[in-house]
Structure 1
Amino acid sequence: MSQPVTLSDHMDPARMTALAVTLGLSWTTDAPLPPFAHQIYFWDARPADQLGRDGHPAVGQGGLIPDMGLPRRMWAGGRLHFVAPLFAGQPAQKTSTVESTARKQGRSGPLAFVTLRHEISQNGRLCVTEWQDLVYRPEARASAAPRYPAAPTDADDRQGRVFTSTELFRYSALTMNGHRIHYDADYTRDIEGYAGLVVHGPLLAQHLMLMAGPGLERFSFRGVSPLIAGEAVVLCRRGDDLWVAGGDGRLCMQATRG
């Protein structure tokens, strides 16, 4: 396993203001950060020659994530424990560790899984622990369209929306996410095999966390099917269960509060 990596950030309030605009939130600089907003901090910016073809930092070159031998990366899901609020304008530290790696054989070929644990502290106190699940897959190949499970239809709360390429660009910029599936349509279609630009899984999770309401202590989410920019989507909640339904009724993401 690689050694833990610690990054520091002064938590610039202007960056959170930009995220609030992107998400359509009202936020003031003296208020706590919304849950999951730490994603826009702790950048690990790398020069171009240290990036892989997909725009992410190349793996297996002394960085945190080992080379699992598969080229296509996805953020599969995650779990979070919110212990104390984070505030903009105050220094914070994030320590990241590889918690586990695994290889499996899926229906479409080999898969590799990496789970990272991130611990975020401010003023000497642990504020957030996050487990980030990544999956690596082989090259895309022509095949029949996959069949995805249908989303539940019994939500108590529904919010319809359409994610635009502008929103994807802004979120990529704020999170320093260079993954080309979010902004390079030719690469996304020709190399990764998607129908169009892919909406960030963390962006969907962020909206579901906001929908979960105040006092959030624990939250878990899992991506089920890709959501394409421009596609109608419905954010749904029923009690502690939340999910994202695509325009055709398929399940895109499922999540649980608590």
Structure 2
Amino acid sequence: MMTQTQDDMQTQEDVLDVARADALRVTLDLQEPILDGDPLPPFFHYAYFWQPILAADLGRDGHPKVGGFIPDMGLPRRMWAGGRLEFLTPLIAGRPAQKRSTVLKSERKTGRSGPLGFVTISHEIWQDGQCALREEQDLVYREEAKQSTPSAPKMADTDHSVETREFSTTQLFRYSALTFNGHKIHYDREYASEVEGYNGLVVHGPLLAQYLMLMGNQRLNGLSYFDFRGTSALLDHEPATFHWDGGRCWVSAPDGRLCMQAQAR
């Protein structure tokens, strides 16, 4: 794997290793093995294009320190807020691929909860001389957690229930490892509660989105586009209910709050 970074642009090369794809398949509890030459399920590219860096270059949360490719806006708490993906042609297991990333925009604003930093990154995944996937990833940076009365959560439409899933600490660990995500909110309970103010470990937003994409891929006989946005953190002790309504899909927590909403086609 090779990574090149220049200002706000980054290029990475990787082989879409079959063993890693199959490890992600097992982590998601999917039954059909992935073999060399098979098309990868949607969103499996997140098991590749790792950015291994020394511990000294990590922030306190386990993510790479900001500054450089992702600008430092002086806000310590990171959240993946959502994204948009355009699936052009399937990525093939076992073949080399290239990821081209660009920071589209970064800005700092003030919201009801205080200062916020917004970063949007564009990714393209290329394989065999053609662009297979285009993606925009939205990141939000926030100030230190405060002990305050939270705003009322957005409640989900509880119709169209498809399935309920529980997330074990083992699955969260495996998903973090396979996506090389060092964010401590997913595996360090003390950090998640005492530093970032969560009442438990946080289920990865991309993991919820992954299950919604698999749902859409099955019901639409393939995905061409997926747009998702996280609205509330789902914690490891909370079963998640996944809902589907003709391309509109979402995730709800046991108390009825909306955790993620998406549109698939």
TM-score, with length taken from structure 2: 0.94
Count residues with an aligned counterpart: 255
Equivalent in the alignment of 1:181: 185
1:194 corresponding residue in structure 2: 198
Q: Is the 8 A contact 1:91 1:122 kept in 2?
A: yes
Q: Which runs of 5+ in 1 are unaligned?
A: none
* One-letter amino acid of the structure 2 residue matched with residue 257 of structure 1: A
Structure 1 counterpart of 2:177, which letter?
A: A
Q: Counterpart of 2:153? A: 148
- What are the equivalent positions in structure 2 for 1:79-98 lying under 5 Å apart? 79-98=84-103
**Are 2:142 and 1:137 aligned?**
yes
1:242 has 2:249 as partner: yes
1:27 aligns with 2:33: yes
Q: CA–CA distance in 2 between the matches of 1:106 and 1:162?
A: 33
Distance 2:71 2:109 in 1: 16
SS at match of 1:39: helix
Counterpart for residue 124 of structure 2: 119
Distance 2:206 2:253 in 1: 16
Q: In the alignment, is residue 43 of structure 1 matched against residue 21 of structure 2? A: no
Amino acid at match of 1:179: H
Could you report, residue by residue, the CA deviation over 1:24-65 in whole angstroms, capped at 9, with x for unpaired residues?
1123313211000000000011100000000000011x3x10
1:77-102 superposed Cα distances (whole Å, 9 cap, x missing partner): 00000001001110000011000112
Deviation at 1:158, TM superposition (A): 1.2
CA root-mean-square deviation: 1.1
Q: Does 1:70 align with 2:78?
A: no
Alignment pair present for 1:205 and 2:209: yes
Identity among equivalent pairs (%): 57
Q: Which residue of 1 aligns with 2:3?
A: none
| 3-state SS of paired residue (1:117) | strand
Structure 1 residue ranges (4+ consecutive) displaced by more than 6 angstroms after TM superposition: none
Among 4, 17, 34, the alignment partner of 2:9 is: 4
Question: Are the aligned partners of 1:220 and 1:257 in contact in 2 as well (CA < 8 Å)?
Answer: yes
Question: How much has 1:151 moved relative to structure 2?
Answer: 0.5
State the Cα distance separating 1:164 from its structure 2 match: 1.0
Matched with 2:234 is 227
Alignment partners' CA distance in 2, 1:184 and 1:146? 25
Work out which of the residue numbers 105, 111, 122 in structure 2 matches 1:106: 111
Please give the alpha-carbon distance, in whole angstroms, between the structure 2 residues aligned to 1:161 and 1:145: 26
Deviation of the 1:237 alpha carbon: 0.4
